[in-house]
Structure 1
């Protein structure tokens, strides 16, 4: 009975902590991002700590600042590389000639329209699917929608800037104070569980580093495959190809639906702004489908089994059920954080609830 009471109390405490984390989710997200960045800055910090000028060592505060500056410079350089490419994409979209677009798509859709009229006579003999498409595109680019878009972007940029400053501040102290994050977690547990918590944090650190590293490799691999396909096979301009490929790579981190969102969005942009000279829309659509489908097959059978199964140490079916539950509870955001969160829960369950058969089954690969 005493043992059961301990488990009940432990579960109750875990639920309270989970509720607090959910209630202060914005702060928790800042802390988690800072913890991930501090892991990236840790090797830089260790190298700086080893530097010695005779008897002089760099102060930890200065080493932490240099490490943070290097990290910030890396992301800033990445942004400076990507921003002009997306800028040119937005210029192409704003300069789209809708009348010319309608002429380009009318001929390939003529047969499709005639079949729709034969199958569904109530739509009328003057039915044209391209008219519907053009009308929807016009609605997207009205003055009010553009104004709302820029207002939303301005608000997002302000929030992002504030978030970046908060993350930089927290990350600095996580890098400077060697075990600061671990000590924050240890403070939530009684002293007698310190060894268990330290083992759990060590396992979590190793698994999450492998997971995020694998995720980065996945994004770069998908970006590379789609860039090659869009540039060499579809014949797009290189700048447009790399922007859309990077976009599909980033959206791919959303399990299952992300790749299709990216492919549809990229195809829509290509068909409206980036048609190669003399290209036939029908054959181009087939080419785009082939490029994105090939990349998706490679991702499903090569990248994802390696990243999700090996990094998270979980069965593919287990991951699939987990993502379905996460999607039903918290939508896309839930799907994004499901695997890292599940990894953390499994590691702590292994340390504190290893007597349960279910826990043993779920954590036997960790």
Structure 2
């Protein structure tokens, strides 16, 4: 190898590195658009079975089926938000009429009742919890600023929603559009294998997301029944929030349990602690535990075995590793991402011993 070959190799490497840096910079500049496309892609997987049913069974045209699917998904989204609007409006009205002294008195009464019930030393209890210190640092003048930030967030959400719906329409109308975008970026020699991987990934993830909807629905029904039996205010909304938090593996149920505990206690804040608050909260938490047992021993194994076809221990390790690297977001995307990697590995590394072991049920 002479000096000319070495210099040309260095130049080529520098140009390639520069091109990669420019590409990464461009992707960072349009990251919002990429997020919109990613969300639209995920939603299209959820809406795919509905769209296919309308086309194949009802013989509707593609454009009509796609429009109906989007309207149906939008109806679900609007229905979810409509649950929270009355609650938020009521809370806003309560804030405008907030009687701080009365609120302090209620909290102090609750703390005293807890201390009496558990035979705690009052002086120790007061040192641990000081209501005066709590409210001394609260600046209620920040409420207008919070409202402005909320309006800005709502405006950004509206733009994002329109963008996602627009992209989603074309993803549903042309089910192979996402594939063509990806195939345009890969070498022609591996086009067939990439195409097979994409089709299998779409099928598995579509079933997985539908399974998650079923999982949330089961928990929503259980939680709603439990909260309604014990006359907890806004039972359905609380149940929906706790069921939705369950999408965050391992951490979500803990947050949901704490949220249900606090909201249940706040629903009976004026009642006697030992005869009303404590028993009802205890019964509600028993119902919460029953819901978690149903989810852990029936719902989740069914979803994992019939959608992503992975062993529970395998899923546990992947979720923990992803959570360590990327936090709660990593825990949420761990299973879809891992499933995609497994499908690609099976197609391109089919002879590898580890890949064979991990994908034997595919």
Which one of the candidate residues 14, 24, 28 is aligned to 2:34? 28
1:106 pairs with 2:112: yes
Q: Cα offset for 1:129?
A: 5.0
Q: Cα offset for 1:90?
A: 6.2
Q: What is the correspondence of 1:1-366 to structure 2 with a 5 Å cutoff?
A: 23=28, 25-42=31-48, 43-44=50-51, 47=54, 64-85=66-87, 87-88=89-90, 97-98=102-103, 99-112=105-118, 114=120, 117=121, 126-128=123-125, 132=129, 134=131, 138=135, 142-144=139-141, 146-147=143-144, 149-232=146-229, 234-237=230-233, 240-275=234-269, 280-366=276-362
C-alpha distance in structure 2 between counterparts of 1:46 and 1:212, whole Å: 17
The answer on whether the counterparts of 2:268 and 2:277 sit within 8 Å (CA) in structure 1 is: no
Count residues with an aligned counterpart: 334
Q: 1:275 to 1:229 in 2, by over 3 A?
A: farther
SS in 2 for 1:329: helix
Q: 1:45 to 1:317 in 2, by over 3 A?
A: closer
Measured against aligned partners, the alpha-carbon deviations of 1:97-155 in whole angstroms (never above 9, x if no partner) come to 421343244223225363xx4xxxxxxx6233597274576478641454454344333
C-alpha distance in structure 1 between counterparts of 2:358 and 2:33, whole Å: 30
The answer on whether the counterparts of 1:235 and 1:276 sit within 8 Å (CA) in structure 2 is: no
So what's the TM-score if we normalise by structure 1? 0.78
C-alpha distance in structure 1 between counterparts of 2:58 and 2:220, whole Å: 37
Q: 1:231 to 1:93 in 2, by over 3 A?
A: farther
Q: Cα offset for 1:194?
A: 2.2
C-alpha distance in structure 1 between counterparts of 2:204 and 2:195, whole Å: 14
Deviates more, 1:147-156 or 1:327-336: 147-156
Q: Cα offset for 1:207?
A: 0.8
SS in 2 for 1:365: coil
Q: 1:22 to 1:139 in 2, by over 3 A?
A: farther
The answer on whether the counterparts of 1:222 and 1:249 sit within 8 Å (CA) in structure 2 is: yes
Q: Cα offset for 1:216?
A: 0.5
Measured against aligned partners, the alpha-carbon deviations of 1:244-278 in whole angstroms (never above 9, x if no partner) come to 10010000100001111112122212222445866
Q: Cα offset for 1:199?
A: 1.5
C-alpha distance in structure 2 between counterparts of 1:140 and 1:195, whole Å: 63
Q: Cα offset for 1:165?
A: 1.5
Q: 1:350 to 1:218 in 2, by over 3 A?
A: same
The answer on whether the counterparts of 2:204 and 2:307 sit within 8 Å (CA) in structure 1 is: yes
